[in-house]
Homo-oligomer: A and B are copies of this chain.
């Protein structure tokens, strides 16, 4: 009987008790080397399929979560997470679809400079991290998404990003046209925007 398999129980209990998603190696650290963790995980995720709780994989990590279609029941008393600004959402999307990208590349796509706070917000949320430097003059920092990004947005891997295959096929994720960028968008302050006297804040 599947329920009494001690390896399965051990993996199930470990993931259930953990307060963060775990990799196979991390789980093995708790249940012992003798357990085939990967096999147990795949059996478990089958077992939980269609239930109120699901076992899901995000990148290299696994965790239990409630089934997405039950959101309407549970959302009620949960606070909506603070809304991200439009600039932050776009910046996150650019990093996720193009990673790794430098700040200048993000700016070239958006056509404006990004204010300092935007990347900070994304890093504070744990979705974005600096991922080294680009070996070009100036050695700019480049940014990439984190495992927590995959977890939060329910992505098994970056290949799961909505529409990424189509965008790639359409050439929209190619390195940006720097000629045009230089012509139009060098060194301009974006925060000023269309600075107005008639602000309707």
Contact = CB atoms under 8 A, between A and B. Distances in A.
16 contacts: A3-B50, A4-B50, A8-B51, A8-B52, A9-B50, A9-B67, A9-B70, A10-B70, A12-B51, A13-B66, A13-B74, A14-B70, A14-B73, A17-B66, A17-B74, A31-B73
B13 A73 contact: yes
Interface in A1-54: 3-4, 8-14, 16-17, 29-31, 49-53
A82 interface: no
Q: How many copies does the complex hold?
A: 2
A31 B10 CA distance: 30
A49 B9 CA distance: 11
- How big is the A interface, by class? 20 to 34
Interface of A: 3-4, 8-14, 16-17, 29-31, 49-53, 64, 66-67, 70, 73-74, 76
Nearest to A27: B73
A70 B4 contact: no
A74 B14 contact: yes
